[in-house]
């Protein structure tokens, strides 16, 4: 099935306002398709459509985000059973909580055991996590100031990685 067809299917399920059916379909899609394809070609476009669709209430968007976060969190838990590297993921000046969890899911399938800081951070403080690997996500290319800080932290010996899917 194409990304557009899957988007339409998700929109139909969302219009039914049935959280159990939504969760079941998210689970089945997670078994059928690669994570990058689902996030980039199904989940993000559907989230965008929900924001733009004036006939859709914020409740449907919230229901979708909740189901995605629930699935991502379960996937993170499952991936911890496999060998991997520990890291803390944080949103740096971006309010996209559901997207943060989707990125955590994406990273976990690349061999990371991700701990998510649920609230957006204005300025990462790697000195609070001196022995940890921090992964920062902004939802866009880093600004010049962010690049300067990333370089500064690296020079000080902190493990800070910029995540750009």
pLDDT score for 3: 87
What is the pTM for the complete model shown? 0.91
Average pLDDT over residues 10-23: 94
Same domain, 72 and 95: no
Q: 111-160, pLDDT tens digit by residue?
A: 999 999 989 999 999 999 999 999 999 999 999 999 999 999 999 999 99
Which residue range(s) make up the domain with 119? 82-162
Average pLDDT over residues 59-85: 95
Same domain, 155 and 116: yes
**Residue 2 pLDDT class (50, 70, 90 cuts):** confident
Last residue of a domain, one of 53, 78, 103: 78
Q: 22-71, pLDDT tens digit by residue?
A: 999 999 999 999 999 999 999 999 999 998 877 677 889 999 999 999 99
- In 3D, which of 96, 87, 110 has the Cα closest to residue 139? 96
Domain count, the chain: 2
Angle between helices 44-52 and 97-108 (to 10 degrees): 170
Same domain, 33 and 104: no
pLDDT score for 153: 97
């Amino acid at each position: 099935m194409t990304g557009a067809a899957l988007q339409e299917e998700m929109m139909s399920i969302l219009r039914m306002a049935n959280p159990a059916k939504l969760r079941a379909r998210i689970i089945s899609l997670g078994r059928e398709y690669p994570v990058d394809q689902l996030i980039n070609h199904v989940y993000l476009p559907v989230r965008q459509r929900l924001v733009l669709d004036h006939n859709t209430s914020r409740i449907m968007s919230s229901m979708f985000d909740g189901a995605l976060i629930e699935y991502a969190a379960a996937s993170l838990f499952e991936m911890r059973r496999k060998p991997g590297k520990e890291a803390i993921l944080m949103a740096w000046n971006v309010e996209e909580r559901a997207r943060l969890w989707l990125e955590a899911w994406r990273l976990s399938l690349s061999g990371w055991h991700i701990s998510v800081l649920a609230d957006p951070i204005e300025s990462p403080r790697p000195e609070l996590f001196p022995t940890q690997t921090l992964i920062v996500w902004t939802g866009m290319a880093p600004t010049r100031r962010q690049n300067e800080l990333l370089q500064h932290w690296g020079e000080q010996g902190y493990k800070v990685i910029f995540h750009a899917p």
